[in-house]
Amino acid sequence: MHEIREISLASRLESVDEAAIAADEFGKKVGLPDEFIYAVDLAVRESVANAVKHGNKFDEAKPVEVTFADTGEVFEVTVRDYGSGFNPDDVPDPTDPENLLKANGRGILFMNSFMDSIEWGNADDGGLIVKMTKKRL
Amino acid sequence: MSDLNISERQAGDVTVLDLNGKVTIGEGSVALRNAIRRLLGEGKNKILLNLASVGYIDSSGIGELVSSFTAVKKEGGTLKLLSLTQKIQDLLAITKLLTVFDTFDDEASALSSFN
């Protein structure tokens, strides 16, 4: 059984909550347990926040597109922005002692911690595509 | 209703902020920032954040805890954390911030640690 939901969000902070609510609704619909939904919720929040802030830079003319897909075995979230792309390796390790007291830079760490795998891709027509998966079993 | 409600009480020279709600990007993080700024402006720099009723926190909220910690320290004060939920504890462990913050499970121990 495959379930898919696609949403398009404006590039503003309120969209982070909207994406998380959509993730919760979709997760409940496909029967994910609460702890799984919490993990997905957090990863979705961080990813959409990055897309709004660092990708589209709050340009409301540029959407953030989020797709949730569930195969029954794997849950997948794709977040796409229309910014200038991004290399996650450029982000300093927030757990390095010299970065511990920085206010920002922990979102990707949370995404990596709560999902099983993350693929980062730059779209041919511009923007970043982040695909996050988590096994259900 | 805002994402985060903050109520303030005084226990000797320690100010306890009871946080209730979500400390997330936007409103929740800003509310915490403003509360800490206000206390520092009033000369209150011994601060205990009670997180027992914080149901959700994201990386922005964790970042705000760190900013609060450094802002208070810069003013010669101390900021400590009380009653972390399991989820917050997990996030502080992932970020290695448990090594930075003084954390307490009970308020009496937290308050006495300031003296």
Tell me phi and psi for residue A18, to 5 degrees: -60, -40
Tell me phi and psi for residue A13, to 5 degrees: -60, -30
Tell me if chain B has a CB within 8 Å of the CB of A93. no
- Interface size, chain A vs chain B, as Cβ–Cβ contacts under 8 Å: 53
> With contacts defined as CB-CB under 8 Å, which chain A residues touch B24?
16-17, 45
Using CA coordinates, name the residue in chain A closest to B62: A103
- List, for residues B90-113, the tens digit of each pLDDT value: 999 999 999 999 999 999 999 999
Binary contact (A45, B66; C-beta < 8 A): no
- At A53, is the secondary structure helix, strand, or coil? helix
Binary contact (B59, A106; C-beta < 8 A): yes
Fold classification of A3-135 is Heat Shock Protein 90 (3.30.565)
Asked if residue B20 belongs to a domain, the reply is yes
- List, for residues A33-65, the tens digit of each pLDDT value: 999 999 999 999 999 999 999 999 999 999 999
User: B96 vs A50, A121, B16, B65, CA distance in Å?
Assistant: 22, 29, 24, 13
Tell me if chain B has a CB within 8 Å of the CB of A42. yes
Q: Are strands B103-104 and B78-82 parallel, antiparallel or unpaired?
A: parallel
Q: How far is B108 from chain A (nearest CA, A)?
A: 27
Binary contact (A106, B100; C-beta < 8 A): no
Asked if residue B21 belongs to a domain, the reply is yes
Q: How far is A133 from chain B (nearest CA, A)?
A: 19
User: A110 vs A38, A130, B18, CA distance in Å?
Assistant: 12, 14, 26
Domain count for chain B: 1
Q: In percent, how much of chain B has pLDDT > 70?
A: 98
Asked if residue B46 belongs to a domain, the reply is yes
Asked if residue B95 belongs to a domain, the reply is yes
- List, for residues A8-23, the tens digit of each pLDDT value: 999 999 999 999 999 9
Q: Are B9 and B106 in contact (CB under 8 A)?
A: no
pTM of the model: 0.94
- Model ipTM? 0.92
Asked if residue B113 belongs to a domain, the reply is no
> With contacts defined as CB-CB under 8 Å, which chain B residues touch A16?
24-26
Instruction: Give me the pLDDT at residue A1, please.
Output: 62
Asked if residue B88 belongs to a domain, the reply is yes
* Average pLDDT taken over every residue of chain A: 95
Nearest to A92 by CA among A103, A82, A83: A103
Domain extent for B18: 4-104
CATH number at residue B33: 3.30.750.24
Mutate to test the interface with B, among A11, A45, A58, A106 (most CBs of B within 10 A): A106
* Chain A residues 66-85 with CB within 8 Å of chain B: none
Asked if residue B109 belongs to a domain, the reply is no
